[in-house]
Structure 1
């Protein structure tokens, strides 16, 4: 535990990946003979600032999850717990088991296997300063806002448009309070709940390699990134 500041990582990985059409839970899809979720967990296992990991998995796969945690010697995984029907419910389940010694909670998508150590360090250090920080990257494409007729209403300036990633790191009490107040809120990410409380969230530069694997097309990019990382 660094400087008496315990950091617990919540890794929600309870999704079934219906958009993959592969009849296999998305976190268990293999890239170069290793499950996606293992790539993700190994990054946090190796990170010196992360003290503990809570893996949030599909209720039907808990024993399988515990098995690969043992197989790959992921000793920082202190708990493997059941997720909910949505990502929000899964993170809520994770927050309920975080102990009081934890100062900061880090939330990272289980299917973002290529986050790097530097990005994790930067977002943690920023959260220590301001209480809430997320990784992100500037948007590259031209973005247009449309109306219901699929007509362009506005072409948005890219200068202040960022694609937000994970990890997202928060003071424990802040994110727990945000979830307590959010029972009926539908939001795209954890930071949105904190924003709705009026708290400013700092964005820290991430990496374009830190992709979220959602569709089969993403597996092509994932395989290429894994190949590059293997050569480093």
Structure 2
């Protein structure tokens, strides 16, 4: 099995949550969202290091949160940037890998339900191919719309919804971010940067439970997932 390091992104303000604070501090079944996510990686023996990227105004609050919940032993806190891509770049700058083929994962801290089996499959795929991401086949029919009218119905058999983590050889993701910064190019995610830079990225099937907590309704779904797993419904 392939070991890895992870850049965990927790610097976003989550405006769509409408909570008046960083959603990482919101509670799911009595435990902060960020703690749920960190525990996944803390509990994985293949995870060597967590580079936790946070908002500079919340650094001390995050440190206190980790102390309060007695977690974060693998975590080193880094200050993020204005945009997500800037925060990933800041995490990469602080992460020091001696091997250019070392596997580096990039994960949204607002996805607390990724599972160890998915992480292990992803790490193996990234080690073999240089880049891989978790995703799931699109279940809904997708329409292209212009000025309120449908212009095309897309064949969903070829469509996958991208998730995180996204995992790459250290040299691959660094090269893509450095090239993007030099060209002032902004990608939709890290895989898109690697694709733009000429790389190929494998898709690894993940779980529909690995959703991003974004809106108030997602907190209800999160509670339901936890309840389901506590009742023995967890899969790997």
Which stretches in structure 1 are left out of the alignment for 5+ residues? Answer: none
- 2:185 partner SS: coil
- Are 1:137 and 1:164, in contact at CA under 8 Å, matched by a contact in 2? yes
Matches within 5 A, 1:31-180: 31-70=28-67, 71-77=69-75, 79-101=76-98, 103-147=102-146, 149-180=147-178
- 1:190 aligns with 190
Match of 2:23 among 11, 22, 26: 26
Aligned pairs, number: 227
In the superposition, the TM-score normalised over structure 1's length comes to 0.94
Q: After TM superposition, what 4+ stretches of structure 1 lie above 3 angstroms from structure 2?
A: none
Which stretches in structure 2 are left out of the alignment for 5+ residues? Answer: none
- Alpha-carbon displacement from aligned partner over 1:41-99 (angstroms, at most 9, x marks no partner): 1001111211000100111111121122233232111x111111111111110000111
Displacement of 1:185 in angstroms is 1.6
Displacement of 1:205 in angstroms is 0.5
For the aligned residue pairs, the C-alpha RMSD in angstroms reads: 1.3
Displacement of 1:170 in angstroms is 0.3
- Are 1:54 and 1:80, in contact at CA under 8 Å, matched by a contact in 2? yes
- Are 2:78 and 2:94, in contact at CA under 8 Å, matched by a contact in 1? no
Displacement of 1:6 in angstroms is 5.5
